[in-house]
Amino acid sequence: MNLRLIGIGAGVLIVLSLPLAGAIAEPDFAGQEDGKGGGLFSALGLSDSSRTSPAAPARSAPTAGPQQPGPAEQPRTDSHCGPELSSPHGVEAQTCVLVGEGQTWGRSYYRNTSGRALDAVLTVMGPAGRTVQIRCAMGAGDEPGLCETPKEASAGDPASYSAVAEFAVPDDEGELLLRSGSNSPAPGDG
Distance set, CA 55 to CA 49, 127, 178 (Å): 11, 58, 65
Distance, CA of 110 to CA of 106 (rounded, Å): 13
pLDDT at position 129: 87
Distance, CA of 48 to CA of 144 (rounded, Å): 59
pLDDT at position 52: 40
Distance set, CA 86 to CA 34, 55, 167 (Å): 56, 62, 11
pLDDT at position 47: 44
Q: What is the pLDDT along the chain (190 residues), one digit of tens a residue?
A: 566 666 676 665 565 555 555 544 444 444 444 444 444 444 445 444 443 444 444 444 445 555 667 677 777 888 899 999 999 999 999 999 999 999 999 999 999 998 889 999 999 999 988 899 999 999 888 889 999 999 999 988 888 999 999 999 887 677 899 999 998 666 655 4
Please give the model's pTM, rounded to 2 decimal places. Answer: 0.58
